[in-house]
C-alpha cells in the first residue's frame, strides 16, 4: 500500500490523481484477496490436503452466487466501466438520476454523493442511467441565499448581481 502511494505520488492534486484515488481501494482489495486465496491454497496443499475438490467446489459455489446476485454483478460491471471511462471522480459535482451533489466516494459497486443540504446519497451503479458532470473542466459555485419576505425578488436579484460585479472586479 505504501509503495502504491509513493509510486502514484498521491500527495499532488491532479485529475489523474483523483482517478488513482478512486481506483486505489479496488486495486488494494483485489490484490489482497488474490494473495490471500493463493496463500491459503498453497498452505493447504503443503499440509497434504487435496485442493482439487476445493477448487472445483469453489467454482460451483461461485457460479451459484453469481446467479443469485445478478444485481450485484450488474453493479460491479457497470461500476467497472464507469470508473475505467473516468465518468466520475471524487470531488466532481454531478447529477446522477434524481440526485445532484458532490462525489465523496466511489466503490466498484456504488457512488456516494453529498447534496447541497448535506444529505449523503449512496447510489448503486446499476441504477444510474446517465451522468451529468458539472465540474469536469469547468467550475460552478452554488449558493443558497435566504431572502426576507419584506424584500422584493427584483431587489434581491439586483443586490446579488451588484455583489457579483464587485467580486468580479476584485
pLDDT tens-digit profile of 122-150? Answer: 998 888 888 888 887 776 667 778 888 89
Question: Using N-to-C axis directions, what is the helix angle for 52-68 and 15-46, rounded to 10°?
Answer: 140
- pTM value is 0.52
Say which residue the cell 454523493 belongs to. Answer: 113
Q: What percent of the chain has pLDDT over 90?
A: 14
Half-sphere exposure of 87 (CA within 13 A, CB side): 17
Q: Do the Cβ atoms of 115 and 101 come closer than 8 Å?
A: yes
Q: Do the Cβ atoms of 41 and 54 come closer than 8 Å?
A: yes
Q: In DSSP terms, which residues pair with 111 in a beta bridge?
A: 106, 123
Amino acid at each position: 500500500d505504501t509503495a502504491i502511494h509513493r509510486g502514484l505520488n498521491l500527495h499532488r492534486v491532479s485529475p489523474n490523481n483523483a482517478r488513482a484515488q478512486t481506483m486505489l481501494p479496488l486495486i488494494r482489495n483485489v490484490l489482497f484477496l488474490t494473495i490471500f486465496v493463493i496463500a491459503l491454497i498453497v498452505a493447504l496443499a503443503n499440509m497434504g490436503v487435496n485442493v482439487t475438490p476445493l477448487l472445483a467446489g469453489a467454482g460451483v459455489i461461485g457460479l451459484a452466487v453469481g446467479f443469485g446476485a445478478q444485481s450485484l454483478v450488474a453493479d460491479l460491471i457497470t461500476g467497472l466501466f464507469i470508473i475505467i471511462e473516468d465518468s466520475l471522480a471524487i470531488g466532481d459535482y454531478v447529477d446522477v438520476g434524481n440526485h445532484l451533489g458532490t462525489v465523496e466516494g466511489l466503490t466498484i459497486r456504488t457512488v456516494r454523493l453529498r447534496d447541497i443540504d448535506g444529505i449523503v446519497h449512496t447510489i448503486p451503479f446499476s441504477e444510474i442511467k446517465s451522468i451529468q458532470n458539472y465540474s469536469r473542466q469547468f467550475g460552478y459555485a452554488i449558493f443558497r441565499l435566504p431572502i426576507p419576505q419584506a424584500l422584493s425578488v427584483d431587489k434581491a436579484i439586483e443586490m446579488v448581481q451588484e455583489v457579483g460585479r464587485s467580486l468580479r472586479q476584485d
